[in-house]
Structure 1
């Protein structure tokens, strides 16, 4: 039996009632995670110098998540949203809220609030010269049309930003595209308020201290 339940089981009625009230009345901050799974790429290509070990393949796809402070409303018509956090992986590189330099999140929902159309772009530049990287992911499904386009450049030592983008001067540039439409899945996450947890812990700790004091008398 977990320690909390053992403690509650040995507590007097008043302490149990206090803990139960705090637990049931404690509000929660609900965040929502939308998980995206794209279709496998239909086309891959690349070129340049210093071929990296990790290349796009037709088995790769875009996967990732966005986290929102609240669920999306029903019947949205191409609404811009601002995630509290996000992370996407295209089979070669990752772009998230810590390294992205350009983002766009536009979604449309059905009557249940599920994402049915979208336009998402995330891009990250990281020191394009002398060994940096550049990555971009765009995937959409709008009006019956859909598409995925991803690209990644690995810049070699001594390369310029222009040379990196062209896959020359010690750099390698690759891209992937095509495939069918992806899909989104919603997951609700309830996070208990820290204040409520502190109150419950304090009440139970106080009861424990009283019991120990009474045993030493």
Structure 2
């Protein structure tokens, strides 16, 4: 049976679309898409695909804890086995991350642990880096600090702007997120004692290195 998967978004949902397009092939069933923003274009992507959607607007809550509690209730109501954060722009509480530890994934536009947080493309360019990229990791209490699963390096060109670099990083994101979801659905991927394991063997701390 396909792994019941909930995707949580805040914006356009391009990674969501990559997962929708390959869901059957990789063995997941996207049983719901949740957004904290009513104007998130990803909600329209989900609706066009016939996927249930829910809005949990963070502005309607007086604390991060109460927002996270309602978000968790919504996820659990969809009977999710896997939770995927795809451009979800909220910092989650430790209680929430512990609830889904080992079955919640995130994507970050840098080669973690470099450039945690925001504005990663700008920061990589300003630092004169030769390589940038994207990382899939397990979500833990530490922001962008959970065990790395997959990294996809992207070479930085001397002519790159934030926009051109971001476009190439998005391209690899759309390939590695479905791969990580597939590994989880097949029972090959797990989190154990803070380390990501694939097929029973620990992955390198930087994660599996993906190359086109």
Alignment TM class, shorter chain as reference: under 0.3
TM-score (norm 2): 0.25
TM-score, normalised via structure 1 length? 0.25
Larger RCO (CA within 8 A; separation ≥ 6): 1
User: Which has a greater percent of helix?
Assistant: 2
For the pair shown, the structure with the greater C-alpha radius of gyration is: 1
